[in-house]
C-alpha cells in the first residue's frame, strides 16, 4: 500500500488472514486499490496454498517412492512493493534461471538438477475446463528458463476453492494436475487478447494435463530424460 494508512480500521476478530491464510486474530482494514493491485493482493493467499499443495503431494507420494529426489521452492511468495523493471517481459524471460520449484537428484554428497516445476492455480478443475488459459508472458517465462538452464519444465495446475468463517475466508486446494511444456504447446488452440485486458494469452486443450496421481509413474519412468533430449534439440521458441 506504499505505507498509506487504511481508509477504515475496524474491529479485531478471530478469522482467516487474507494474506497468510491462517486462523488468528485479524483486523478489518479498507483501502482504495486499482483492479490490478487488487489482483496482486489476493494472489498472495492463493500462492501460499498452491505451494502447500505441491509440498504436501511431494511429501506424501514422491519422497517415500524416490527419496533421492529433492524438491526446492525457488520462487517463495513474499510481500514486496512494486518497482518498474528495466527490461521488457520478453527480454527478462530470456534471462530467467528459476521457476517456482527445481527438482534435484542426490548422488552421494552432490545434488544434480533434473527439471523445473512451474505452478499455476485457479478455481477451475481441469476435468471441467473447455480451455486452459496461460498468459503469453508466463509461457515465455517457462520457455526462457528452460532454454537458459537446459532443464525441462513441468507445469502443475492447482484447483483452489474457498472456505468461510464469516466475515473472513480462507483458500483451500481441491485437486492438482500436471503437464510438461512440450505437451502443453502441442495442445495450444489459439493466442488472443484476454477480454477486458491488453495482454495476450494462450488457450490450450485441457487434454494436455493428467491427474497428479500419475506423476509418480512418470518420474519412475524417467520421462524427464526424454524432455531433456527435446530441450537439447532447441525447438522451443518464445511467442
Evaluate whether 171 touches 49 at the Cβ level (below 8 Å): yes
Give the whole-angstrom CA distance, residue 112 versus residue 105.
5
pLDDT at 171: 96
131/205 Cα distance (integer angstroms): 5
Where are any strands of DSSP class E within the chain?
8-16, 23-30, 69-73, 101-107, 110-122, 132-135, 153-165, 168-180, 188-193, 200-204, 210-211
Q: Is residue 223 part of a domain?
A: yes
β-bridge pairing 110-122 and 153-165: parallel
Is residue 38 included in any domain, yes or no? Answer: no
At residue 103's C-alpha, the angle toward residues 118 and 94, to 5°, is 50
Looking up cell 524432455 gives 227
Q: Decide: 146 and 181 in contact? Cβ < 8 Å.
A: yes
Q: Is residue 25 part of a domain?
A: no
Task: Decide if 217 is inside a domain.
Answer: yes
The answer to whether residue 239 sits within a structural domain is no
Looking at the 3D structure of the chain, how many domains does it have? 1
The CATH number given to whatever domain includes residue 128 is 3.40.1350.10
What b/e readout covers 92-131, taking b as 16+ CB neighbours within 10 angstroms? Answer: ebbebeebbbbbbeeeeeebeebbbbbbbbeebebeebee
User: Does residue 174 form part of some domain?
Assistant: yes
CA 138 to chain centre: 10
CB 12 within 8 Å of CB 25: yes
Domain that holds residue 179: 45-232
Sole residue written with cell 477486458: 196
Residue 82 pLDDT: 54
Low-confidence ranges of the chain (pLDDT < 50): 88
Neighbours of 151 (CB within 10 A): 20
What is the reported pLDDT for 195? Answer: 76
Per-position DSSP letters for 106-117, written without gaps between them? EETTEEEEEEEE
3-state helix, strand, coil in the chain (%, to 5): 35, 35, 30
* Residue 204: alpha-carbon gap to chain centroid: 17
The DSSP bridge partners found for residue 173 are 160
Enter the pTM of the model.
0.89
Q: Would you state the pLDDT for residue 53? A: 97
What pLDDT is recorded for position 83? 55
In a domain, 79, yes or no: yes
pLDDT score for 43:
86
Residue 1: its pLDDT value, please? 64
pLDDT for 203 equals 97
Give the side-chain half-sphere CA count within 13 A for 167.
8
Cell output for 91 = 527480454
Residue 61 has a pLDDT of 97
Report yes or no on 13 lying in a domain. Answer: no
Whole-number Cα distances in Å, 165 to 15, 20, 114, 129: 6, 15, 42, 29
Number of other CB atoms surrounding residue 209 within 10 Å: 22
Amino acid at each position: 500500500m506504499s505505507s498509506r494508512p487504511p481508509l477504515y480500521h475496524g474491529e479485531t476478530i478471530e478469522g482467516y488472514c487474507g494474506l497468510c491464510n491462517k486462523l488468528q486474530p485479524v483486523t478489518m482494514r479498507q483501502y482504495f486499490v486499482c483492479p490490478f493491485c487488487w489482483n496482486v493482493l489476493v494472489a498472495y493467499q492463493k500462492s501460499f496454498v498452491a505451494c502447500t499443495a505441491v509440498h504436501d503431494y511431494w511429501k506424501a507420494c514422491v519422497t517415500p517412492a524416490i527419496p533421492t529426489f529433492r524438491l526446492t521452492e525457488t520462487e517463495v511468495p513474499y510481500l514486496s512493493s512494486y518497482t518498474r523493471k528495466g527490461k521488457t517481459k520478453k527480454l527478462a524471460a530470456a534471462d530467467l534461471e528459476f521457476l517456482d520449484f527445481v527438482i534435484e537428484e542426490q548422488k552421494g554428497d552432490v545434488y544434480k538438477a533434473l527439471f523445473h516445476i512451474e505452478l499455476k492455480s485457479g478455481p477451475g478443475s481441469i476435468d471441467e475446463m473447455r480451455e486452459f488459459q496461460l498468459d503469453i508472458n508466463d509461457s515465455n517465462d517457462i520457455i526462457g528458463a528452460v532454454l537458459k538452464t537446459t532443464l525441462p519444465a513441468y507445469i502443475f495446475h492447482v484447483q483452489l476453492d474457498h472456505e468461510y468463517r464469516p466475515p473472513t475466508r480462507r483458500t483451500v486446494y481441491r485437486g492438482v494436475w500436471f503437464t510438461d511444456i512440450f505437451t502443453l504447446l502441442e495442445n495450444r488452440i489459439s493466442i488472443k487478447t484476454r477480454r477486458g485486458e491488453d495482454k495476450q494469452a494462450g488457450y490450450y486443450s485441457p487434454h494436455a494435463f493428467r491427474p497428479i496421481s500419475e506423476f509418480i509413474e512418470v518420474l519412475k519412468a524417467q520421462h524427464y530424460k526424454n524432455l531433456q533430449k527435446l530441450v537439447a534439440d532447441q525447438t522451443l521458441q518464445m511467442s
